[in-house]
Structure 1
Amino acid sequence: MHYKLGLIGFPVKHSLSPWIHRQFLKKAGLAGDYAIVEIAPGDSFEQKLQQIKHSQFDGFNVTVPYKKQIMPYLDQLDDNAKAIGAVNTVVQKDGKWIGYNTDGMGYITSLKQHYPSIFQNQACRILLIGAGGAARGLFFGLTTAGFTRVDIANRTLSSAETIAELGKKETNTAIMTLEEAEKQLHQYDLIIQTTNVGMKPNADDMILSLDQVGKNTIVSDIVYQPIETKFLHQAKQKGADVLYGHVMLLYQAQYAFELWTSQRVPAHDMEQDLKTVLGGR
């Protein structure tokens, strides 16, 4: 079998997903390739999807701005994707398209790889910064993993409130403004920046100051270009531990690859290689 895989989104020309999945194919000893299908805002989304269907892709990833837009075109949704309200992976099975979301699982795996001890205290305090699609996936992943205190800070409180509704009975979530969060950072064990603030070419931007962050707090940023964002750089200066965005990227891709091929390839040994590839960009 020759796997035909790909990525849809915009802009995605510089995505690292092709490099990651070609490495996975090689590791698994499978034939196949991973293509980029850029769908510009002026293109007909429906027409592009028809072309993908006729091209008989075995599966593809979905990134911004189409994680929600893709959903009505799918034949079936995994329960997690349905709850999160966003899809980042589509599997073709018996001519049907099935939607999944691997963001939360990918983040949890990256956290387990680097800071396993945090899972020993599931009542620890976690703060999500931002309330977009990524925050939804991470909130769902964290609460599904058993963490019971996950707060959300965002400019628009109503967006954060809709994410809080994903919580379980035992989940406690406080909603606050970015200004309020900035003053309370010392209270948190894990802080996760889930927006695209600080991404190249705006690498000098920060969503909030980390002046109040506690020593040994884990500070995480899902942005991976640059590898060390200004947010993570300031966290390190304050004595915090950091978790890089490219690590989450790698592990969410690992889950997607498993959905397509039923093979779980080891990814931990790829972290440094991915960092090297990123560093050259």
Structure 2
Amino acid sequence: MKKLFAVLGDPIGHSMSPVMHNDLFSFYNIDAHYLPFHVKPDNLGHAVRGLKAIGAGGFNVTIPHKSAIIPFLDQVDELALQIGAVNTVVNVDGKFVGYNTDGLGFLKGLTDIGLHISESRVLIIGAGGAARAIYFAIAKNLPKAVDLTNRTVEKAANLIKDCPFPVSSKAISLTEAAEKIGEYDLIIQTTMSGMSPNLNEQPLSLENLHGQALVCDIIYNPLETKFLQEAKQKDAKIQNGIEMFVYQGALAFEKWTGIFPDVKRMRENVLQQLGGTSNVNR
């Protein structure tokens, strides 16, 4: 009997996780299937209980359920609790255990670039759920500094206060961030600015960017946002959201099956779905 895996979200039709994970189950000869479920917030608890009742092997959680899912789980990993969000759930002997692979997935995505977090000065743009996961994962590795900028500076400051790791951080305005952006080795854009269909938006100017920096945008539709295009014009290295998406999925797959999958295969599969060929400018 096939083991069921799933992703819960609202909306969910855009998710590429089913294509990615079903290909992996087939590739590794695992008798399992991965389905998308459109779950409204009011029905989240019912959905979790239903998945447990039928013995689902695990599931992913996407917007807007990553924080709301926590009370419905039997156990939550310490890092996920600190972040306050879960994106991966594993059935462990009948108990649903929650993890967050988003921040770790982002860090894994930097391995292809050869960037060493501990030697870097980092700027994170945004202070939402994705920024929180990435910030905590980076802070745990103790970079030289990791600053946060956001339209509401107070929200960035509160995120810094919540961080459990002893890292040097400041909350700065978008204007200040644009002025001093040349001081950073790694710039990470975590907002929805520039996501399709708002292709002409970008969170701040990169006029003062230097060509040695790595500029990341967690958006992957389009493959190159206006933000990344401007960074490339400044001769900076760029990375879009494909790497984070693929690696967070790989870490989830590993938790479900014990197999760390072929990331190159996953990347090519996702790029094929998006109609693209490359996501990194070295």
Shorter-chain TM-score range: over 0.9
Corresponding residue for residue 100 of structure 1: 99
SS at structure 2 position matched to 1:206: coil
TM-score by length of 1: 0.92
Using the alignment, how far apart are the partners of 2:84 and 2:40 within structure 1? 22
Which of 133, 154, 158 is equivalent to 1:158?
A: 154
SS of equivalent to 2:220: coil
3-state SS, counterpart of residue 118 of structure 2: coil
Residue 168 in structure 1 maps to residue 165 in structure 2: yes
Amino acid at match of 1:36: P
Cα deviation for residue 84 of structure 1 reads 1.0
Indicate whether 1:131 and 2:130 are aligned. no
Task: Name the counterpart of 1:32.
Answer: 32
Please give the residue correspondences for 1:168-247 in structure 2 after superposition, counting only pairs within 5 Å: 168-169=165-166, 171-247=167-243
Judge conservation of contact 1:122–1:148 (CA < 8 Å) in 2.
yes
List per-residue Cα deviations over 1:162-197 (Å, max 9, x = no partner). 32231522x100111111111111111100001122
Deviations 1:86-130 (A, max 9, x none): 1000111122111100011111111012x11x21x6232100000
- 1:7 equivalent to 2:3? Answer no
Partner-residue secondary structure (3-state), 1:191: strand
Q: Deviations over 1:123-151 (max 9, x none)?
A: 32100000011111101111223323111
- 1:31 and 1:87 map into 2 onto residues whose CA distance is 25
Partner SS state of residue 119, structure 2? coil
Secondary structure, counterpart of 2:176 in structure 1: helix
CA distance in 1, matches of 2:186, 2:18: 31
How many angstroms apart in 1 are the aligned matches of 2:207 and 2:164? 29
Alpha carbons 1:27, 1:265 under 8 Å: kept: no
1:167 and 1:147 map into 2 onto residues whose CA distance is 14
Residue 45 of structure 1 corresponds to which residue in structure 2? 44
SS of the residue aligned with 1:122? helix
Q: Residue 149 of structure 1 aligns with which residue?
A: 145
Q: Count the aligned residue pairs.
A: 275
TM-superposition CA deviations, 1:222-278 (whole Å, max 9, x none): 011111111111111111110110111000000001111111112134323321211
Structure 1 CA distance, aligned partners of 2:54 and 2:274?
A: 30
What is the root-mean-square deviation of aligned Cα atoms in Å?
1.6
CA distance in 2, matches of 1:72, 1:52: 15
**Structure 2: distance between partners of 1:206 and 1:26:** 39
Which residue of the partner structure matches residue 83 of structure 1? Answer: 82
Write the distance in 1 (CA, Å) between the matches of 2:164 and 2:122.
13
Question: 1:46, CA displacement in angstroms?
Answer: 2.4
Q: Secondary structure at the match of 1:159?
A: helix
Q: Distance in 2 between matches of 1:48 and 1:30?
A: 24
Give the letter for the 1:91 counterpart.
V
- Any conservation in 1 of the 2:20–2:269 contact (CA below 8 Å)? no
Structure 2's unaligned 5+ residue stretches are: 277-282
In the alignment, the residues of structure 2 paired with residue 28 and residue 273 of structure 1 have an alpha-carbon distance, to the nearest angstrom, of: 15
TM-score normalized by structure 2?
0.92
| Off by >3 Å, runs of 4+ in structure 1 | none
Say whether the 8 Å CA contact 2:120–2:145 is kept in structure 1. Answer: yes
Structure 1: state its 5+ residue gaps.
Answer: none
The 10-residue stretch of structure 1 (74-83 or 266-275) with the greater mean CA deviation from structure 2 = 266-275
Measure, in 1, the Cα distance between the counterparts of 2:48 and 2:255: 20
> Distance in 2 between the 1:47 and 1:272 partners?
35
AA partner of residue 89 (structure 1): T
SS at match of 1:64: coil
Contact 1:227–1:279 (8 Å) recurs in 2: no
Equivalent residue in structure 1 for 2:136, among 127, 134, 140 = 140
Identity among equivalent pairs (%): 39
CA distance in 2, matches of 1:270, 1:186: 34
